[in-house]
Amino acid sequence: MAQSEHEGRLGEEFFTPGSSSFTEFLAAHRPELLGTRTLPEGVRATEVPHGTTILALTYADGVLIAGDRRATMGNLIAQRDLEKVLPADDHTAVAIAGSVGIALDMVRLYQVELAHFEKIEGIPMTLGAKATRLATMIRQNLAQAMRGLVVVPLLAGYDTTAPGGGRGRIFSYDAAGGRYEKYGFHTEGSGSPYARGALKKLHRPGMSRDEAALAALEALYDAAEDDSATGGPDLSRRLFPVVSVITEDGYERLGETEVRRLSLDMVDRRHSRPDGPNAPL
């Protein structure tokens, strides 16, 4: 069969003026690629894997974002080594809580969205615009959220354009796409009330990276103690929380050796103080 004259060429849609949003481009020309997950009749949301506890906190050099590794399905542990913290671009990361499948699809699309904008416009999107764009994507999931497939991510980034120099910023969302900037620290997921309580006594301005990482691990440990859906350090399987930082130099995931060392030190101290450290006076 003779090869088509136009085979391998880009279609007209790629040369049609439009917005710099990759999501809007797909919605206009290939909406089926966006994907739509709905629950089959008779299937409950509790039968879909859900991510649990995530958190973020600011420290001296930027912002730290972390999450436990457990995913649950009703009263079952669906996964023990889930990656809940994912880089969105060089200076932004997303942690996921809620319906795992929807959340992972959303983060992958969000990563492409940010890269596409920078290629089209020639400059990176501002952090505030990144937070707003993620809110729009969450709002597009509202129909599924009303059926139980809720996605509640946490966005952390280093704002290189902030007045007076760069700084770490944190944004939380509700299921309808409401966007809220948080200051100091924030937590999401089923274990968030216990993690937030821990951070209230442990977080302080100007913390070093090690101090911030240890505070995050202590908060996740407290969440795991009171919330069965949150996983603590799994010493036998050598599974530890994912902890990442974002600074002027960009996104960095703390190495397994470093997180393991901090986790083992924390667990060792818990032998003599099971309820964790006291708040500094």
18, 24 contact by CB (below 8 A):
yes
CA distances (Å), 72 to each of 40, 47, 108, 227, in order?
Answer: 19, 9, 21, 12
CB 216 within 8 A of CB 53: no
Specify whether the CB–CB gap between 114 and 137 falls below 8 A: no
Which residues contact residue 45 at a Cβ distance below 8 angstroms, ignoring those fewer than 6 apart? 39, 99, 147, 148, 149, 150
**Integer Rg of the chain from CA:** 20
Sign of CA dihedral 109, 111, 114, 118: negative
What DSSP state is assigned to residue 277? P
Say which residue the tokens 């913290």 belong to.
Answer: 85
Catalytic residue among 16, 36, 46, 52: 52
Instruction: Note if 52 is an active site residue.
Output: yes
C-alpha 205/C-alpha 50 separation (Å) is 32
CA–CA gap between residue 58 and residue 95 (Å, rounded): 15
* Residues with active-site annotation: 52
